[in-house]
Structure 1
Amino acid sequence: MNENILGIIAGVLTSISMIPQLIKVIRDKNVDDISLVMLIVLISGLSLWVWYGCMKNELPIILSNAFAVLVNISLLVSYMIYRKS
């Protein structure tokens, strides 16, 4: 298998992995089971992957991780909106 295809498939799968969680949070308006620390660490790590991809000029790394950052920032915003104060 071509390594670029493998990278694209891996990127797509990891990028969409949090979409079901985001949908559930938006539908239920409940973030009780979401860890704020986990979200911050994950967004930080994904952002570093985007930076790394830019340094290496690797479009699959850049695009997949940038999309994942957006999904997880959406989850973070949802967390801020729906958390119980």
Structure 2
Amino acid sequence: MLVLSRKIDEALIIGNAEIRIVVLGIQGDQVKLGIEAPRHITVMREELFQAQQHNQMASLSVPPETLTDLTASNPKTPLRPQEKKPKSP
């Protein structure tokens, strides 16, 4: 792990100047960072990323027939895209 010290308004550059992280402010034990990155790069807080990974793993453990049973028991469940009714002329 690289450890750097930065002051307010100082920045870090990651990669080929593709990602820029700027220290915007420091209040007590909190540091406000500004992140400039191309739209194709996802930026999120680590705890949200971990929760997303956990949810994805949990969804893989659900047997497909369980989902079918849930859909059949709830008539208000929207149709899947491949099951949409064709529009009448």
Report the TM-score range of the alignment, normalised by the length of the smaller protein.
under 0.3
| Structure in which a larger fraction of residues adopt strand | 2
| Structure in which a larger fraction of residues adopt helix | 1
With the length of structure 1 as denominator, give the TM-score of the two structures: 0.26
With the length of structure 2 as denominator, give the TM-score of the two structures: 0.25
Larger radius of gyration: 2
